[in-house]
Amino acid sequence: MPLKIGIIGTGGIAEFHLRGYRRAKDIQLVACCDVMGERVKAFAEQHGFKRHYTDFRTMLAKEDLDAVSICTPNYAHKDPTIEALKRNVNVLCEKPTAMNAKEVKAMIQASRKSKALLTIGQHFRFDPKNQALKRMVDAGDLGSIYYGRSHSTRRVGIPGWGAFHIKEKSAGGPMIDIGVHALDLTLWLMGFPGVDSVTGQTYVKFGKTKEQYHTWGKIDPKTFTVEDFACGMARLSNGATLLIESAWASHTETESLLQVVLGDKGGVTAYPHRAYTVRNGTHVNIEFTELPEVEPHEEEVLWFVHCVRGEKENVVRVEETYQTMQIIDAVYKSAETGKEVVIKDHIPVPSKGSRK
């Protein structure tokens, strides 16, 4: 029997999900939904969906779906995810999981009550080079991990379209937009050890006044209500330290994405992907060769389909993304209050081997 697929939100990211579904076997594109009536109609006609809707609750009530992709803006992740889970429809929700940790917690609770699967679109984990790093870490090649760095900055890259720059709809700027990818990848490599405390700072230096730093269109500076640079330090529950930097615009040479994880036996970096250690008294640099080139968005969708069919294990658990969102929330709160934020609420991550 083909899996019956729905898509909620028909903006640009939905196109990436569609490419993944088209590569999967025995898939039927049944219904799509978007609050913009003309856009969803055109999307349905272009991609061969049988029906289209402007209300996700109506779609989920009328359609007998096996799975949905949630491709809406940040503020519209939680409600359709929870509604789908209540109806035991499997969910692939785009990043960030939600607007804040409180919303993520509600999604976790809904997931645990549902028979369905919930996974999050952290597609960096599906890059074979990142997976090679993860295998090294899990094999113990780094020894005891004590430090991580999550770095994602642009020289010119303030989004000039959509709701990226509006706090009420996005919850934040680069930290929750591009920073969430870098942060998730670094924490994944470190094993999501839990977060004890965070200090952070945010700045608005370019978003309100400098049009030359905007890309993908222009915005009214008066509507720019998020940061364009954020940084922080997190103390993790295993004693390790994590540094975080994220910017949409900065006076740097070029766009930069870098993750660093250090242990007492070795270290790794992502972007560029290398490993560093000592062997037989000699310092050694390791580079990765002959790894396949893939489109991680498509790979994440293919993996989701396998998970829905019970063929593979969920590798992006919503409980992991709760830790990520706790850090992002705490960076914003620390920047606002000028104080360290202590985190006491810890949700265990399910053990490997669990479908959910």
How many Å separate Cα 224 from the centre of its chain? 23
Nearest CA to 231 out of 152, 299, 320 is that of 152
Looking at residue 18, what is its pLDDT? Answer: 98
Looking at residue 160, what is its pLDDT? Answer: 77
> What are the phi and psi torsion angles at 117 (to 5°)?
-95, 140
Looking at residue 355, what is its pLDDT? Answer: 64
Task: Please write the tens of the pLDDT for every residue from 266-300.
Answer: 999 999 999 999 999 999 999 998 899 999 999 99
> What are the phi and psi torsion angles at 345 (to 5°)?
-90, 110
How many Å separate Cα 17 from the centre of its chain? 14
Scan for tokens 């949409």, then name that residue: 248
Looking at residue 230, what is its pLDDT? Answer: 98
The whole-model pTM stands at: 0.94
Task: Please write the tens of the pLDDT for every residue from 51-61.
Answer: 999 999 999 99
List domains and CATH numbers for the chain: 3-124+297-316 (3.40.50.720), 128-292+323-342 (3.30.360.10)
Residues 6+ apart with CB under 8 A from 255: 153, 154, 155, 157
Residues 6+ apart with CB under 8 A from 349: 192, 317, 319, 320
Looking at residue 282, what is its pLDDT? Answer: 97
**Which residue numbers in the chain have pLDDT < 70?**
210, 212, 216, 353-356
261, burial (CB in 10 Å: exposed 0-12, middle 13-18, buried 19+): buried
Give CA–CA dist 276/133, Å, rounded: 11
How many Å separate Cα 254 from the centre of its chain? 23
Looking at residue 295, what is its pLDDT? Answer: 96
Three-state helix/strand/coil letters over 11-67: CHHHHHHHHHHHHCCCEEEEEEECCCHHHHHHHHHHHCCCEEECCHHHHHHHCCCCE
Q: For the chain, how far is it from start to end, CA to CA, in angstroms?
A: 22
Residues 6+ apart with CB under 8 A from 72: 8, 9, 11, 80, 94
